[in-house]
Chains A and B, each alone.
Chain A
Amino acid sequence: MAKGPNKEELSKLDYTLPSTEWMDTPVEFKPGTFCWGAKGKNLQTVEFPNARDWTPVEDDWKLPQEWEGTVLEAMADRLSKYRSFKLFMDICVRCGACADKCHFYIGSGDPKNMPVLRAELMRSVYRKYFTTPGKILGRLAGARELNVDVLKEWWYYFFQCTECRRCSVFCPYGIDQAEITMMGREFLNLLGLNTDWISGPVANCYMKGNHLGLEPHAIMNSIEGMIDDIETITGIRINPSFNRKGAEILFVTPSGDLFADPGTFTAMGYMMLFHELGLDYTWSTYASEGGNFGFFTSNEMAKRLNAKIYAEAKRLGVKYIIGGECGHMWRVLTQYMDTWNGPADFLEVPVSPITGTRFENSKSIKMIHVAEFTADLIKHGKLKLDPSRNDNLKLTYHDSCNVARGMGMMEEPRYIIKNVCNNFYEMPEDTIREKTFCCGSGTGLNASENMELRMRGGLPRANAVKYVHEKHGVNMLANICAIDRATLKASMEYWVPQVSVTGLHELVANALIMTGEKERETNLRGEPLPGKEGN
């Protein structure tokens, strides 16, 4: 066997890092921390500029001529268009309150993941070209030129921000790094610098209506499979409809719910609930994606992908829309859809046909989140529930950034959980609700090639889960977001393998006593129900 270093050599090894100013430390592309570059064909599909295959680790990024001009022009344009962007470039006092609040910083220790420094990556360029002190004093005023190294640094770090907005909660000025990252990604996108993991789904969604590129028959097949499973478990054959004109409600959920566990169990949950209620709803195989990866490229692309939802609602002549469990989908729909593609004056204010509740909060967008819908049902005593069927579970709940911090939906999911499960334990206060930690892989960072990065970003959330696991024996992590269902699964496998991941409506459906059901032996996962283990 080869001889290792001797004691003397070992004690001489120095692991302290070189300390250079951040501006003088160019980014190093380390495997596991970034996603593959976008493929030309996918960019072409949506007519994005500079479509070509490229590789982040190669020196030559095949940038277009005059690319600096393109970026600076776009920057000037957005600065005049969005007051928030201009403010965020100007008003930071570098107090540092945000610095240690980002999950990527906490998990990686890389100073450029401090929100304040992430913003400086762009601010320094802004100062150079758009402020007088920056133009005159240059570096003394914290300004620097836009060059290829800076561009690479932008790409690296704007794809290490999940736009979760946790930092903004702690900023005395409310500076929202998410918006700066969005701008950064827009500019990069103008040069064809997107990631494969985002641009692939965008192209798919543009052509086929969903991120996975599932065609109508594949969607229907997938749902058929779930219906078979539901029948095996409950003895009830349910019969959902597709693209049905004249249905009262259009149901839209992230396509992730249709193809990957545990999302599929959540999808089964929706269908069992709707069947029990006798809801007059339809799936669409065209508006078959609630999520919007366009949102992770540019405002314009997000708008284009979103357009199909209202269009399909109009075509089918429904009254309103219910959205499945998703995070970024919900933020896009509530905060952007109306201005982009509204007004949806052909729809009505959502009214629950079961309870009569009028969802005034959705007066304008005409769409409600399934968690609000279900919480309202439970509140009115409309569901027969047996929470003991979930007694094998000790639950905790992860607030998804977009629904909780972004949209303020914090009580509904908890209310539902408490009604369908007997064992619920909150994670520590600083890690939930508006201070929730991101799953670590949102905004299209949930590729596999950047797994180290995902684990770093996922550490603060997983660490809090681990705590409740050790303290209370928590073994299940509930959430209402399709990306969470995929990414927390990986994060738990690495950090807390004793804890699994579930959507909310899987729990609801397990507890739901359906009319005419046979005595259930298993839960939706096919595992024996508590008390039925011996059967």
Chain B
Amino acid sequence: MGTNLKNILSEKRPAILDRWVDHILDTYPSDTASFMRDKKSRFANPVGHSISAGVEGIFEALLQGIVQEQVSVFLDNIIRIRAIQDFTPSQAISFVFFLKKIIRDELAGEIRENSLADELMLLEDQIDSLGLLAFDIFMRCREKLYDIKANETRSMTFRLLQKANLICEKPGEEPDVPDSNSE
């Protein structure tokens, strides 16, 4: 088997994924990072679980070739959470780019020895495109959040006016703010 970047990535998969997860968890306060690292139950620790399952899925997609719908699910599972936590937009999606540095660090020797710089560049382009996708997903999550806020407030005001007999349309005619989940 020829030495190409993907083979090496496959071999080093556990180490890379561990570092990736660690790096993401380190964006949380240290007590929380240890909780998220140690607690394995997906129900007791949904954030930690979504992150580890998510990065696995994303990594696999990089190895196998990216199918946007598939990889979106994994990105979404992580980003949907970070979009409502204490992060700025760049912090929320930065985890995608962490992978570049991790791969460079982990594979520095191999890349040099086997002259894989070109392959690395291609891979990094792919990671960049995942970064862009991540940004779209982040925006969709935020838009969804605003829709929910707006619809809650709207439907409440509407019903109250209706109850006070100030308006008389049927509820069914009330136009909702368009749903940003549907693309």
Let me know if B43 and A490 touch, CB within 8 A: no
A259 to B163 CA separation, bound complex (whole angstroms) = 8
For the residues of B in contact with A, the DSSP-based class is helix
- 1/0 contact trace for B61-103 toward A, CB 8 Å? 0000000000000000000110011100011001001001100
Query: Contact mask A200-227 → B, CB, 8 Å, 1/0?
Result: 0000000000001010011101100000
A299 within 8 A of B: no
Count of residues in A whose CB is under 8 Å from the partner chain? 52
Q: Cβ of A100 and Cβ of B44 under 8 Å apart?
A: yes
- Shortest CB-to-CB span from B133 to chain A, Å, is 15
How far, in angstroms, from A464 to B45 measured CA to CA in the complex? 11
Is B27 on the interface with A (CB-CB < 8 A)?
yes
Is chain A's interface secondary structure helix, strand, loop, or mixed overall?
A: helix
Q: Please determine whether B165 and A108 come into contact, CB atoms closer than 8 angstroms.
A: no
Query: Which of A432-450 touch B at CB < 8 Å?
Result: 448-449
Q: Which residue in B35, B101, B164 is a CB contact (below 8 Å) of A100?
A: B35
Given contacts A107-B47, A455-B145, contact A16 B26 (CB under 8 A): yes
Among candidates B28, B41, B181, residue contacting A430 with C-beta atoms closer than 8 Å: B41
Cβ–Cβ < 8 Å partners of B21 in chain A:
none
- Which B residues touch A419, using CB under 8 A? none
Write out, one digit per residue, whether chain B residues 127-155 have a CB within 8 A of any chain A CB (1) or not (0). 00000000000000100110111001101
**A83 within 8 Å of B (CB atoms):** no
A109 & B36 in contact (Cβ 8 Å cutoff): yes
Interface flags, B156-182, vs A, CB<8A=1, else 0: 100110011100000110000000010
Residue numbers in A under 8 Å from B141 (CB-CB): 494
Across the interface, which residues of B come within 8 angstroms of A2, CB to CB? none
Interface pair A494/B91, CB less than 8 Å apart? no
Other-chain residue from A13, A109, A222, A448 in contact with B85 (beta carbon distance below 8 A):
A109
A497 touches B46 (CB 8 A): no
Q: Is A452 an interface residue (CB 8 A)?
A: yes
B10 at the interface (CB under 8 A from A): no
A10 in the interface (beta carbon within 8 A): yes
A452, B145: Cβ atoms closer than 8 Å: yes
A455 to chain B, nearest CB (A): 4
- Give Cα A221 to B94, complex, Å: 53
Among B28, B36, B44, B159, chain A packs the most CB atoms within 10 A around the CB of: B44
Q: How far is the CB of B125 from chain A (nearest CB, A)?
A: 12
> Max chain A CB contacts within 10 Å: which of B26, B145, B163, B171?
B163
In the complex the two chains form, what is the Cα distance from A494 to B81 in whole Å? 10
Contact B86 A222 (CB under 8 A): no
The answer to whether the Cβ of B30 comes within 8 Å of any Cβ in the partner chain is: yes
A 78-117 contacts with B by CB, 8 A = 99-100, 105-111, 114
A183 CA / B144 CA spacing, docked (Å): 35
Asked if B40 is an interface residue, CB under 8 A from chain A, the answer is no
Q: Is the CB of A19 within 8 A of B29?
A: yes
CA distance A435 to B159 in the complex (A): 35
* Chain A residues, Cβ within 8 Å of B164: 218
Q: Which of A10, A459, A490, A526 contacts B47 (CB 8 A)?
A: A459
Indicate whether B115 reaches chain A with its CB closer than 8 angstroms: no
Q: How far is the CA of A497 from the CA of B151 in the complex (A)?
A: 15
Quick check: B44 and A451 within 8 Å, CB to CB? no
In-complex Cβ contact of B29 among A32, A111, A260 (8 A):
A111
B39 cross-chain contacts in A, Cβ below 8 A: 100
Shortest Cβ distance from B28 into chain A, in angstroms? 4
Interface centre among B30, B32, B141, B172, by most A CB within 10 Å? B32
How many inter-chain contacts with C-beta < 8 Å in the A-B complex?
120
Name the contact of A455 in the complex, choosing from B84, B91, B165 (C-beta under 8 A): B84
A173 contacts the other chain (CB 8 A):
no
Q: Across the interface, name the chain B residue whose C-beta is closest to A214.
A: B163
In the complex, chain B residues whose CB is within 8 Å of the CB of A10 = 94, 97, 100
Tell me, in angstroms, the Cα distance from A116 to B149 when the chains sit together. 31
CA distance A449 to B141 in the complex (A): 16
Given the contacts A100-B44, A259-B163, A110 and B86 also touching, CB distance less than 8 Å: yes
Given A7-B100, A10-B97, A100-B39, A106-B46 contact (CB < 8 Å)? yes
Q: How far is the CA of A493 from the CA of B149 in the complex (A)?
A: 11
| Residues on the B chain within 8 Å of A495, using CB | 80
Tell me the nearest residue of chain A to B124, going by C-beta. A7
Give the distance to chain B from A13, nearest Cβ to Cβ, in Å: 7
A11, B100: Cβ atoms closer than 8 Å: yes
List of B residues within 8 angstroms of A259 by Cβ: 156, 159-160, 163
Residues B148 and A11 in contact, CB atoms below 8 Å apart: no
Q: Which of B45, B144, B148 counts the most chain A CB atoms within 10 A?
A: B148
Q: Give B124 Cβ to nearest chain A Cβ, in Å.
A: 8
| Given A10-B97, A15-B94: A106 and B45 interface contact (C-beta under 8 Å) | yes
Please, which residues of chain B bring their CB within 8 A of the CB of A497?
181
Closest to B172 in A: A526
Partner pick for A11 among B90, B91, B101, CB 8 A cutoff:
B101
Q: Can you list 22 A-B contacts with CB-CB less than 8 angstroms, sorted by A residue number?
A: A16-B26, A19-B29, A33-B86, A106-B44, A106-B46, A107-B47, A107-B81, A109-B28, A109-B47, A219-B163, A260-B155, A430-B41, A431-B43, A451-B84, A451-B149, A452-B85, A456-B84, A459-B81, A463-B43, A490-B148, A490-B152, A526-B172
In the A-B complex, the 6 residue pairs with the smallest Cβ-Cβ separation, listed nearest first, are: A463-B46, A109-B32, A218-B163, A455-B84, A15-B27, A109-B28
Q: Spell out A's residues near B (CB within 8 Å).
A: 7, 10-11, 13, 15-17, 19, 30, 32-33, 99-100, 105-111, 114, 212, 214, 217-219, 221-222, 258-261, 428, 430-431, 448-449, 451-452, 455-456, 459-460, 463-464, 467, 490, 493-495, 497, 526
B-side residues, CB < 8 A to A, are 26-32, 35-36, 39, 41-47, 80-81, 84-86, 90-91, 94, 97, 100-101, 141, 144-145, 147-149, 152-153, 155-156, 159-160, 163-165, 171-172, 181
